[in-house]
Amino acid sequence: MRRRSFIGLIGGVAVSPIAVRAQQPAKMKRLALADPALKVADMRIGGDSGYTLGLRELQRLGYIEGQNLIIDRFSADGTGEYGDLVAKIVSAHPDVIFALGTSITLALKAATSTIPIVAITGDPIRFGVVSSLSRPGANVTGVSVDAGVELWGKRLELLAEAIPKARNVLFVSTQAGWEAEGGKATREAAQRLGIALAIAPVSTPVNEQAYSDAFQAIRRDQSDGLVIANITNAYAHRFLLVKLAQQIGLPTMFVLREQAEAGGLMSYSMDLKHAILVAIAQVAEVLRGSRPSEMPYVQGTRYEFVINLRAAKAIGLTIPPALLARADEVIE
């Protein structure tokens, strides 16, 4: 692999290291992990790479499962239904909840105003997670991995560079996502590039069946490429989306680095691993007594462009050298 990394500043808010107190925690604490889709068995060290990274960081910060920390793991298994799950999480009375994804965070926020929640979400203001980044003012804080609408136009531009003859591209999204700012920004970019952009509709609720149906309706001979929208629950089905794109054989732009690593053609996104480290530092601060209401909701500032050459070869696509040179990582 070849890699170079860079740090950007988005929205005028930078990620700064969170001070970690030197003293060890004095008593057993309880942490709840809430995931929209991942199997509970993978939400541990040695399982999913993100959880492995996060839990090892938590150990480094002084919280070790089985010694001074109890971890309860909960997953919605990709159903998009959170009612019963949230009730179980709240009834476990954790000291803090670590939640991945906007929808599950909103469900947790609606269920409790007292249990601290640290989340990784999309735009927390637009989705109503918090009312202020600098002072969330409630029981939720975390990290936003939404870099703004400009990212959407950039995704289409990069995909178009990979397939210079592209004339028709599909935006895999719900109708709401198509009409939202991200969809609008992608349509504007398509107009500038001379590309006809259309929606490949995803029904709601967004679950495995909804995505499968959307891809089954795509005709390969009527599209040159796909852009996956970062709609509600897209993160929950991130690996399913890679599988579906591989089956259809069209060049696809994904929204997560993990998807390019898992076999997707390319991704342009915020650095999720960095976001996890920042969020875990926040979890440790809450366990030590800090209040989410007084902890800034951090806007992620690291973003990266990843190309998977194995995926390109599998669909017979040659990536232009100039585009390869712009990638932060090329998977060979």
In the chain, where the domains are located? 2-147+270-303, 150-268+304-331
pLDDT at 98: 99
Place of tokens 């591209």: 169
Say if residue 134's pLDDT is above 50: yes
Confidence of residue 26 (pLDDT cuts 50, 70, 90): low
Say if residue 108's pLDDT is above 60: yes
* Contact between residue 140 and residue 111 where contact means Cβ atoms under 8 Å apart: no
Mean pLDDT of the chain: 90
Confidence of residue 205 (pLDDT cuts 50, 70, 90): confident
pLDDT at 238: 86
Confidence of residue 123 (pLDDT cuts 50, 70, 90): confident
Confidence of residue 232 (pLDDT cuts 50, 70, 90): low
Confidence of residue 264 (pLDDT cuts 50, 70, 90): very high
Burial of 27 (0-12, 13-18, 19+ CB in 10 A): exposed
Q: Give CATH superfamily name and number for 150-268+304-331.
A: Response regulator (3.40.50.2300)
Over residues 195-224, mean pLDDT? 93
Q: Give the tens place of pLDDT for each residue, 310-330.
A: 999 999 999 999 999 999 999
Helices (H), 121-271: 150-162, 175-179, 181-193, 208-216, 238-248, 257-261
Say if residue 19's pLDDT is above 50: no
Over residues 27-46, mean pLDDT? 95
pLDDT at 18: 46
Say if residue 17's pLDDT is above 60: no
Burial of 155 (0-12, 13-18, 19+ CB in 10 A): buried
274: enclosing H helix or E strand: helix 272-287
**What's the CATH number for 2-147+270-303?**
3.40.50.2300
